[in-house]
Amino acid sequence: METPKLTEVRLPSTRSVLAVCAHPDDESFGLGAVLSSWADQGTRISVLCFTHGEASTLGATDGNLHRVREQELGTAADELGVETVRLLEHPDGRLTGEPTDQLSAEVRHAVELVDASLLLVFDEGGITGHSDHVRATEIATGVASDVGIPVLGWALPESVAAQLNDQFETHFVGRRPESIDLVVDVDRARQHRAIRCHASQSGENPVLWRRLELQGNQEVFRWLGR
């Protein structure tokens, strides 16, 4: 008989977490609950975001999305307890065309600046299948391997992804229980406040709210490098 996998039930203790994201709101919509949990434990939290999210079809009537989303990111980061935010100027939706060496150097520089002891990213497959998410995770995991620090991927249970895909015709990538390494109870109060800071993206976003409803007070993660 195969031995069942032992799943960890608490966040790893670490001194400095760097979240590597593709767009403003990724740090809140996806990673907000875990980032605020770490901040509450006294862990230093930083965010590196590759694009301004200016290509979004949401909030397009609010003026200059490049500027609007930069401001939203700053406000949301404060709500989550993030100490340092670095927002880069890569083109939204076209990260796959950006030079690997440049992207890697920017992540490596951020790791050094904040003395990161762990990288936090979206799971392989980018959760939603968005190519920018996939690219951000690929770059971060490569850098983590080079510098010798662990990288933790925020994931979705297969059951949650399947319900979302069935209801909204989306392309969420979920994981079976045997592929999940951590199942962590979270308090979503600060995450919800941070989400509302991204007013241009959260107002007309039923998929986001349904996902949070399905996940309840739990988040799941996979080690992508240790």
**CATH superfamily of the 16-225 domain:** LmbE-like (3.40.50.10320)
Does residue 62 carry a pLDDT above 60?
A: no
- Confidence at residue 111, expressed as pLDDT on a 0 to 100 scale: 98
The DSSP secondary structure of 105-120, one letter per residue, reads HHHHHHHHHHT-SEEE
pTM of the predicted model as reported, rounded to 2 decimal places: 0.94
Measured between alpha carbons, how far is 83 from 45 in angstroms, rounded to an integer? 6
- Is the model more confident about 61 or about 163? 163
Assess whether pLDDT exceeds 60 at residue 6.
Answer: no
Average pLDDT estimate for 132-136 = 97
Chain mean pLDDT for the chain = 93
pLDDT band at 3 (very low <50, low <70, confident <90, very high): very low
Map out the domains of the chain as residue ranges.
16-225
Question: Is the confidence at residue 2, as pLDDT, over 70?
Answer: no
Phi and psi, residue 197, nearest 5°: -65, -25
Q: Residues 212-216: what's their mean pLDDT?
A: 97
Cα–Cα distance measured from residue 38 to residue 95, given in angstroms and rounded to the nearest whole number: 28
- For 154-196, what is each residue's pLDDT tens digit? 999 999 999 999 999 999 999 999 999 999 999 999 999 999 9
Q: What is the pLDDT of residue 226?
A: 84
